[in-house]
């Protein structure tokens, strides 16, 4: 889907684990991909899939400059060997992660903010808040998060994590609209 979505190529991509156990990091990846105008691509946790490497190569060939691959998640989700494989292929690798799924979503928010900013809705910066306990609802907002650059923040069901609450309460971040 990445090569179909970007037929002219791109030199910015987001890489996440496609493993069942590592789905939470992929939830926040769509907004990061939107902020860099690139796709989300899946790989194995412990090794770079050949099909993934081929897709990255195809996308990079169509764009000028060296590709930057943003890995979302810690080394338990996408191993250091995957990062090394990408570096060995000549790509620039930037890992965006936190101590857990919630902190990773917060780190993705910070990265989006540093790259170019958060999308707006009804005149104010917007974010999406979803549960980090399961994925169907969060998965359904992926395209909106990508196209509008609305960061996806995770919560523990009925309570906000301290990191998510800090992002939403920060005057610096100025989040005015929250989609739940």
From its phi and psi, is residue 4 left (phi > 0), alpha (psi between -120 and 50) or beta?
alpha
Query: For residue 34, what are the contacts with CB-CB under 8 A and spacing of at least 6?
Result: 119, 145, 146, 147, 148, 149
Report yes or no: 66 and 13 within 8 Å, Cβ to Cβ. Answer: no
What's the number of CA atoms in the CB half-sphere (13 Å) around residue 104? 25
Helix ranges (H only) for the chain are 2-5, 23-36, 50-61, 80-88, 101-115, 136-140, 142-148, 162-169
Q: What pLDDT tens digit does each residue of the chain (180 aa) get?
A: 999 999 999 999 999 998 877 788 888 999 999 999 999 999 999 999 999 999 999 999 988 888 999 999 999 999 999 999 999 999 999 999 999 999 999 999 999 999 988 999 998 999 999 988 888 777 788 899 999 999 999 998 788 999 999 999 998 889 999 999
pTM check: above 0.85? yes
């Amino acid at each position: 889907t990445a090569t179909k979505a970007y037929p002219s190529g791109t030199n910015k991509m987001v890489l996440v684990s496609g493993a069942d156990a590592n789905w939470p990091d992929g939830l926040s990846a769509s907004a990061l991909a939107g902020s860099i105008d690139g796709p989300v691509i899946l790989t194995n946790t412990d090794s770079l899939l050949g099909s993934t490497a081929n897709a990255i190569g195809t996308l990079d060939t169509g764009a000028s400059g060296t590709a930057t691959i943003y890995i979302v998640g810690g080394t338990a989700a996408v191993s250091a060997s995957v990062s090394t494989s990408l570096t060995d292929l000549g790509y620039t690798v930037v890992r965006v992660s936190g101590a857990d799924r919630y902190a990773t979503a917060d780190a993705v928010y910070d990265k989006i903010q540093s790259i170019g900013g958060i999308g707006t809705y009804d005149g104010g910066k917007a974010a999406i808040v979803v549960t980090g306990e399961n994925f169907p609802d969060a998965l359904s907002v992926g395209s909106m998060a990508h196209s509008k650059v609305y960061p996806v923040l995770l919560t523990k069901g009925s309570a906000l994590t301290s990191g998510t609450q800090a992002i939403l309460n920060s005057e610096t971040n100025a989040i005015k609209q929250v989609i739940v």
